[in-house]
Structure 1
């Protein structure tokens, strides 16, 4: 007589708990644009969420300390002429955030510590270099003012945000749409996944692919 062994889960006594109403945000019109993005970004001070906007693209910024129902007229960060596809907070300055849009531009914004009474419409800098929509942003983890962007043109661009200049353009490494990009911990390498189901590890200083793997998964760290 065979005896069936059932492996016990260490999570069998772990139960989820719904967040309290006073710890949540309500009535946010999250963007319905079809794009592989989380549509939000958070840092120690703020929560930013891409929202529906007529005639352009916008996102809202909410203090972490102030939860509850969000006023429908809450000021937005609004400067793009087409929907915003990605946002990313600067790791070196909790008041700086970058946004990427279908209008092919990247904009970098300074967010005040107080809640503004009007929409924020003037970015610190506008970065132009992509020929198609920009859907991926990632700040360099250790170097200040260095921002990576990737777009529907299959190109990765690394920018100096302080001067607004393009530092590097990686043009011929991806034959199809780039799905995701991730820096390693010190920013010496970056990894990408592409629609061709290939993971690439790139040395941006050399402008070379240093490793390739036929996979559709991307680890958050190298």
Structure 2
């Protein structure tokens, strides 16, 4: 009698679990828009969700610790004149988030550390360049202040956010609606999928197609996707890909390996409520002492529920095999250098003692003089009053930072 050999994998027993009710974010009116983006973005400080808003578009940003019932009057980010379709936190500064909207614009926002105390209507930068709604946003993984946007005008734009300018405009590559767009690990290439049933690998700076015809797939997995679009999340550290069906109530996960058949089904997390969207916590935001290898933020109609993926282990010591060095928040190249063809590999960090921000997050600096020049050349006179307000705000922030440092030094002196 032949015995079937079972492939060994440390992720075979990964299991998903929803958190207790008091650890959810309740009474949030999640957007009813029919759009295929995640509707949620999360980092170790905040969780952001696109919400229903009258007379425009809005999203809510909550400190991660602010669980429980959220008051209806809680302030939102509400500067768009049309519904918000996509949001994404900057990987190099947890206080910066980008939003794309049906009003054809992209806006960059700075969220104060404790969250919002009043509605936020003025973005740090507004990026105008699309002629139809903007439904896809993605920050460059290693270059500071580089953002990709894709709109229903079939155009991909690469922005230097600090200068407020569109540096590369890919407007002849896609013949139809762009469904998705993402960077590779070091941000030297972009992959897009399009309504014309074509996958394209692009050189983002030259604006050329590198690969177009993928031929036969390496492997094929049949999935029941009747409920809606699949939102994929890939963890390069573990080789696990998670597939969350929008409108579905499950998260399926697979291990990707270098040898045939390449993709191995692991398991599925299911619950009774379907998901309206999904956020995915960066690796540095996980609890490594609990063997947590992924955390999702599942959007229901009226709440957000964290779902934790864990590898069962008896020991409470740090499990090195589960946590190889992972991508940290430090960028490896500046926007200007990247646009001048300099690539930067991800800067990796160890999670051995959990993630601790040893250096100040990469400060988000806008070259105001350059933005002013741009607005003047487009026929708008610079707003001197606004400039003064901005400078005052910067001085105030510097004072606060100085006070914080002084306090920290005195605490350290007291300890020693």
- Normalised TM-score (structure 1): 0.90
Q: 1 CA distance for matches of 2:235 and 2:154?
A: 22
1:197–1:214: 8 Å Cα contact kept in structure 2?
no
Distance change >3 Å, CA 221–CA 191, structure 1 → 2: farther
Larger radius of gyration: 2
The alpha-carbon deviation at position 56 of structure 1 amounts to 0.2
2:27 matched to which residue of 1?
A: 27
1:85 matched to which residue of 2?
A: 85
Higher strand share: 1
1:190 matched to which residue of 2?
A: 190
2:166 matched to which residue of 1?
A: 166
In the TM superposition, what are the counterparts of 1:197-216 in structure 2 within 5 Å?
197-213=197-213
The alpha-carbon deviation at position 13 of structure 1 amounts to 7.3
1:182–1:221: 8 Å Cα contact kept in structure 2?
no
Instruction: Specify every segment of 5 or more residues in structure 2 that has no aligned partner in the other structure, as ranges.
Output: 218-229, 237-416
The CA RMSD measured in Å over matched residues stands at: 2.6
Single out whichever of 113-122 and 211-220 deviates more from structure 2: 211-220
The alpha-carbon deviation at position 60 of structure 1 amounts to 0.3
2:147 matched to which residue of 1?
A: 147
1:109 matched to which residue of 2?
A: 109
2:40 matched to which residue of 1?
A: 40
1:49 matched to which residue of 2?
A: 49
Matched, 1:132 2:150: no
Superposition misfits of 4+ residues, deviation over 4 angstroms: 3-16, 214-222
SS at match of 1:213: coil
- Normalised TM-score (structure 2): 0.49
Q: 2 CA distance for matches of 1:129 and 1:15?
A: 44
1:182–1:220: 8 Å Cα contact kept in structure 2?
no
1:105–1:126: 8 Å Cα contact kept in structure 2?
yes
Distance change >3 Å, CA 198–CA 8, structure 1 → 2: same
Distance change >3 Å, CA 205–CA 221, structure 1 → 2: farther
Matched, 1:156 2:156: yes
Q: 2 CA distance for matches of 1:221 and 1:8?
A: 23
